[in-house]
A = this chain, B = another copy of it.
Amino acid sequence: MRATVIHGPNDIRIEQVPDAVVQRPTDAVVRVVSACICGSDLWAYRGVAARVPGQRIGHEFLGIVEEVGAEVTGFARGDFVVAPFVWSDGTCDHCREGLHTSCPQGGFWGEVGSDGGQGEAVRVPFADGTLVGLPKEAAGEEKLLPALLALSDVMSTGHHAAVTAGVRPGSTVAVVGDGAVGLCGVLAAQRLGAGRIIALGRHEARTAIARTFGATDVVAERGADAVEAVKALTGGQGAHAVLEAVGTEESMRTAISIARDGGAVGYVGVPHGGPAGVDIAQMFDRNVSLRGGVAPARAYIPELLPDVLSGAIDPGLVFDRTVGLDGVPEGYRAMDERTALKVRIAF
């Protein structure tokens, strides 16, 4: 089969790799129908996050079950499924509590020895614990596929930011970051009933999506100016719930500074740069909480799926380009150069 392989910074190739096969009785093999490139893949692409040369890449995909191991009971050949961005056994304490990302047997697609999502097929460990079934008829609805695919990471991650930031009906919410996760955070906040949603971002194509997703205000400033702008919009108080979807020191500093006293920052941007952006003294004086982390998408997909199927939310709008497998290297370039927001791969 063919799959995307990363050899080093800026070196993404499509190569022939061993076919995905059932290795353990709890495995399934999924033929990928659609996958995508994540903003977090760019950290590897840019060489900021280390990868072993030859490692697979991609952690968001949906597809059709092709084969299942002898112990898989929940899925059969032909089922339409979406995978969250980590696999998990579904039976440990953490999985049962809904924090599948802490499963001791869990792993991340593309880690050494595993298939990545940006390939023709994927061996899925612990298929019963990992995969979420989708209605078979949805596989034929081209217009639904992007939204369903977004559940594997960005929509679930945006939802995690909103949940951990404590978004409630009527909340004033601020979202730091206008990437796909930030935009999905806007959508998640709107879905949870936020009264006001301030999107921080300065790329007009992106903030236009933010407005479509429910943003009531857009702040294009950054740093101290952004803090001032959000304070001005909120009677000097800041936002009850702040969604941090970038992961830099500056974005964290901004997020904490625009939180209302007693409010919370839900951070889902993979941290790059250490704790220097975490102003602990300011947090202490103002009782600002810092919550979030890697999103347990497996727990959220069943909750979000009905709203995607009904059309109540359409996170698929974050995709602004579609390529075939051979177009993946160009997709990385486009996202790296910010000429594309998020690239979908159709097989």
Contacts and interface: CB of A to CB of B under 8 A. Distances in A.
Interface string A275-290: 1111111011111111
A262 interface: yes
Interface stretch (A66-74, A96-104, A197-205): A96-104
B290 A290 contact: yes
A274 B270 CA distance: 21
A293 interface: yes
B289 A281 contact: no
A254 to B, nearest CB: 15
B289 A284 contact: no
A292 interface: yes
Given A278-B280, A279-B275, A280-B271, A287 B102 contact: yes
A118 interface: no
A272 B252 CA distance: 20
Contact of A292 (B101, B284, B294): B284
A333 interface: no
Given A94-B262, A102-B261, A237-B93, A281 B271 contact: yes
B99 A262 contact: yes
A276 B93 CA distance: 31
A289 B287 contact: no
A94 B288 CA distance: 13
A283 B293 contact: yes
A267 interface: yes
Contacts of A97: 262
Given A164-B289, A290-B290, A293-B288, A102 B283 contact: no
A289 B262 CA distance: 14
A291 interface: yes
Contacts of A264: 291
B293 A291 contact: no
Contacts of A291: 264, 289-291
Given A94-B261, A275-B275, A275-B277, 19 more contacts: A99-B261, A99-B262, A101-B287, A252-B280, A267-B284, A271-B280, A274-B280, A275-B280, A283-B290, A283-B293, A284-B292, A285-B293, A285-B294, A287-B296, A289-B290, A289-B291, A289-B292, A290-B291, A291-B291
Interface pairs A-B: 9 shortest CB-CB: A287-B293, A102-B261, A275-B275, A289-B291, A275-B278, A99-B262, A290-B290, A284-B293, A271-B280
Interface of A: 93-94, 97, 99, 101-102, 164, 237, 252, 261-262, 264, 267, 270-271, 274-281, 283-294, 296
11 contacts: A93-B237, A99-B261, A101-B285, A102-B262, A102-B286, A274-B280, A275-B275, A275-B276, A278-B278, A278-B280, A284-B292
